[in-house]
Amino acid sequence: MIKQITSEVTSIEFKKFGSIVYLIRLAVNGQLSTVLIDTSSKENKEELLSELSKLNLKSEDIQTIILTHAHYDHIENTNLFPNAKIYGNFTKSINTYHSQTELRNILPIDNQPIKDFQIHKLPGHSPGDIAILYKNILFSGDIIFHSGYIGRNDFPESNLKEQQKSLQILSKLKFDTLCPGH
Ligand SMILES: [Zn+2]
């Protein structure tokens, strides 16, 4: 299901389990840049492609993918996008969880190219969690959800102390619109 959040931001939600995918189309140095935040689970592969085509996008059009963390329901389908550079706060070899699909090479999040994205590293739910603040919108992955719900902390890779610290930092961020991973 496609929902227009702002003139630049569109969300894609799926019938089967997997993260919400956010599409951001913004001008970078006068050029249109096409970004995805997360890519959902492999169960949603066909639906993701068909929703993107309703938005007049081919998989080749996606230039940048930012992954909020390394859980499988957020990171599968990266290999659908041959021209995308993929950024995350984790490495492919050591820190991907519960995924059986091949992940493309992950570039360090500090090198992501969109200067207007403010990246906050907020581990706890998993070691590589980030939130992305863009204008007045916070993309929070599985760190926080609507109605004050917080991310699970019962995975082997979770860390309760780090999560509490991260939630404190996050509570100081100013935003009007929350775009969580689920
Ligand atoms: Zn997660």
Task: Give pLDDT tens digits for 111-124.
Answer: 999 999 999 999 99
Ligand 1 geometric centre to CA of 29 (Å): 33
Ligand 1 geometric centre to CA of 125 (Å): 7
Q: What percent of the chain has pLDDT over 70?
A: 97
Assign residue 8 the CATH number of its domain. 3.60.15.10
Under the banding of pLDDT at 50, 70 and 90, the label for residue 95 is low
Q: Name the pTM for this structure.
A: 0.95
Q: How many domains does the chain have?
A: 1
> What order of strands is seen across the sheet that includes strand 64-66?
2-4, 9-12, 21-28, 31-37, 64-66, 85-88, 107-108
Q: Is pLDDT above 90 for 57?
A: yes
Ligand 1 geometric centre to CA of 142 (Å): 5
How is the chain classified by DSSP, letter by letter? -EEE-SSSEEEE--SSSS--EEEEEEEETTEEEEEEE--B-GGGHHHHHHHHHHTT--GGG--EEE-S--BHHHHTTGGG-TT-EEEESS-TTT--BS--SPPPPPEEGGG-S-TTEEEEE--SSSTT-EEEEETTEEEEETTB-GGG-B----STT--HHHHHHHHHHHTT---SEEEE--
Determine the structural domain holding residue 110 and report its residue range.
2-180
Ligand 1 geometric centre to CA of 123 (Å): 11
Ligand 1 geometric centre to CA of 96 (Å): 11
- pLDDT tens profile 70-85: 999 999 999 999 999 9
